[in-house]
């Protein structure tokens, strides 16, 4: 059997962890009878996308994102366009998609998953002109990811500190939602569009979401008094928001959202600024990805 050319694209800043020793660790544990490995470190925002585009259009069969959901987003967009295969070694702050797919958080165990090379095909989604793979949205979570992007301290603690400071000042917005042609008006603290069930760190906003069902879960976090924040946190961490009084979840394929002003959105946790009208849709079974056989 011929060996596959595999490229590991390493984001040196994701998750706030040093990754200088990662190529040596991968070298030590990767199955050399299956793979010819190469390594690249990203140097700026958007660099992973450039490296992945070049590699996917050439002779690389598998491109592995060594980072979090933002790094995965840049790489998976190009992997999908060229119908290649994505791998993940989780090294983010939240690792939402990796956790959902049951890819181990420990690096050596994640390399073993790559050695097993079980390829699943999963849904992806479009958000106006961008792709997303795990979660996108607007409201407080988009606001927080735009503030977090300008913040030097990454990792979970940095996220929590910022969240607590910002949450007290954030005002809910009114959204007009059209989900597969049915209209809703909702005043919401957050509107999240979920492909997988979680933001990361096992915070499940859409416990019933699946990446193979051809559907997105629109999660509306309604206005709630701040003393109920621990209730919402408990519901997310115990994957019970589908029974919550604070969260409403509506499944659909084609989602149009209107809001009163141009504002922040986030795509897989990375902040962008978009207009009042947002158009989101599912692309069923469109990305090849190495993952444990998580259904069994
Ligand atoms: N060398 C670099 N310097 C600065 N930013 C970079 C560099 N390489 C990549 N980036 C950017 O880092 C951002 C964060 O990456 P990523 O989302 O993978 O990590 P994270 O936010 O810590 O994890 P998660 O999304 O799982 O919470 C991405 O927007 C990516 O474009």
* CB of 265 closer than 8 Å to CB of 127: yes
| 54 & 135 share domain | no
| 140 & 85 share domain | no
| 73 & 150 share domain | no
| 54 & 182 share domain | no
Residue 159 is assigned to a structural domain of this protein: yes
CA torsion 68→71→77→79, rounded to 10°?
Answer: -90
Query: Averaged over 147-175, what is the pLDDT?
Result: 77
| pLDDT of amino acid 185 | 98
Residue 290 is assigned to a structural domain of this protein: no
| pLDDT of amino acid 152 | 59
| pLDDT of amino acid 153 | 59
**Residue 105 Cβ contacting ligand 1 at under 6 Å:** no
| pLDDT of amino acid 151 | 63
**Residue 92 Cβ contacting ligand 1 at under 6 Å:** yes
Residue 204 is assigned to a structural domain of this protein: yes
| 97 & 236 share domain | no
**Residue 42 Cβ contacting ligand 1 at under 6 Å:** yes
| 134 & 238 share domain | yes
**Residue 198 Cβ contacting ligand 1 at under 6 Å:** no
Number of independent structural domains in the chain: 2
User: Atom 3 of ligand 1 has which residue's CA nearest to it?
Assistant: 44
Q: What is the CA(198)–ligand 1 centre distance, in A?
A: 18
| 94 & 147 share domain | no
Which domain range does residue 110 map to?
Answer: 4-117
| 140 & 112 share domain | no
Residue 228 is assigned to a structural domain of this protein: yes
Residue 124 is assigned to a structural domain of this protein: no
Q: Is 134 helix (H, G, I), strand (E, B) or coil?
A: coil
Question: Residue 296 above 50 pLDDT?
Answer: no
| pLDDT of amino acid 240 | 96
Residue 123 is assigned to a structural domain of this protein: no
- Output the domain CATH number for residue 237: 2.60.200.40
Of 66, 67, 268, 272, best ligand 1 pocket probe by most atoms within 8 Å of the beta carbon: 67
Of 63-67, 149-153, 171-175, 225-229, least confident by mean pLDDT is 149-153
What ipTM did this prediction achieve? 0.96
**Residue 154 Cβ contacting ligand 1 at under 6 Å:** yes
Last residue of a domain, one of 87, 117, 147: 117
pLDDT band of residue 155 (cuts 50, 70, 90) is low
| pLDDT of amino acid 295 | 56
**Residue 95 Cβ contacting ligand 1 at under 6 Å:** yes
Residue 288 is assigned to a structural domain of this protein: no
Residue 44 is assigned to a structural domain of this protein: yes
Last residue of a domain, one of 117, 151, 186: 117
| 140 & 264 share domain | yes
| 268 & 183 share domain | yes
Q: What is the CA(90)–ligand 1 centre distance, in A?
A: 12
Strands (E), the chain: 4-10, 35-41, 62-67, 85-90, 119-127, 130-132, 135-139, 173-179, 182-194, 216-222, 247-252, 254-259, 263-267, 270-274, 277-290
Average pLDDT of every residue of the chain: 93
Of 8, 10, 14, 88, best ligand 1 pocket probe by most atoms within 8 Å of the beta carbon: 14
What is the model's pTM? 0.94
pLDDT digits (tens, 9 = 90+) for 89-147: 999 989 999 999 999 999 999 999 999 999 999 999 999 999 999 999 999 989 887 77
- The DSSP element (H or E) to which 71 belongs, if any, is helix 69-81
**Residue 266 Cβ contacting ligand 1 at under 6 Å:** no
| 195 & 272 share domain | yes
| 249 & 135 share domain | yes
Of 45, 91, 132, best ligand 1 pocket probe by most atoms within 8 Å of the beta carbon: 45
Atom of ligand 1 nearest to the CA of 270: 29
Q: What is the CA(144)–ligand 1 centre distance, in A?
A: 15
Phi, psi of 71 (to 5 degrees): -65, -45
Last residue of a domain, one of 117, 152, 172: 117
**Residue 19 Cβ contacting ligand 1 at under 6 Å:** no
For β-strands 270-274 and 277-290, DSSP reports them as unpaired
Residue that is written with structure tokens 């140097």 in the block: 43
- Output the domain CATH number for residue 104: 3.40.50.10330
């Amino acid at each position: 059997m011929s060996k596959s050319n595999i490229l590991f694209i390493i984001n040196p800043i994701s998750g706030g962890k040093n990754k200088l020793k990662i190529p040596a660790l991968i070298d030590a544990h990767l199955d050399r009878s299956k793979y010819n490995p190469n390594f690249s470190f990203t140097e700026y925002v958007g660099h992973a996308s450039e490296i992945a585009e070049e590699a996917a259009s050439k002779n690389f069969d598998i491109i592995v994102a060594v980072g979090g959901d933002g790094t995965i987003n840049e790489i998976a967009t190009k992997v999908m366009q060229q119908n290649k295969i994505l791998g993940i070694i989780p090294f983010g702050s939240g690792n939402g998609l990796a956790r959902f797919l049951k890819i181990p958080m420990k690096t050596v165990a994640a390399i073993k998953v790559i050695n097993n090379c079980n390829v699943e095909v999963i849904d992806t989604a479009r958000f106006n002109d961008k792709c997303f793979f795990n979660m996108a949205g607007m409201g407080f979570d988009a606001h927080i990811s735009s503030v977090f992007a300008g913040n030097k301290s990454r990792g979970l603690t940095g996220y929590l500190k910022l969240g607590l400071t910002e949450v007290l000042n954030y005002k809910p917005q009114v959204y007009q939602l059209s989900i597969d042609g049915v209209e809703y008006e909702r005043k919401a603290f957050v509107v999240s569009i979920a492909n997988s069930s979680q933001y990361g760190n096992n915070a499940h906003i859409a416990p019933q979401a699946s990446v193979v069902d051809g559907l997105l879960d629109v999660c509306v976090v309604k206005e709630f008094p701040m003393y109920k924040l621990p209730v919402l946190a408990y519901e997310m961490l115990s994957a019970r928001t589908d029974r919550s009084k604070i969260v409403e979840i509506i499944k659909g394929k084609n989602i149009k959202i209107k809001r009163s002003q141009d504002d922040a959105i986030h795509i897989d946790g990375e902040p962008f600024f978009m207009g009042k009208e947002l158009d989101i849709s599912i692309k069923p079974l469109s990305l090849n990805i190495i993952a444990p056989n998580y259904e069994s």
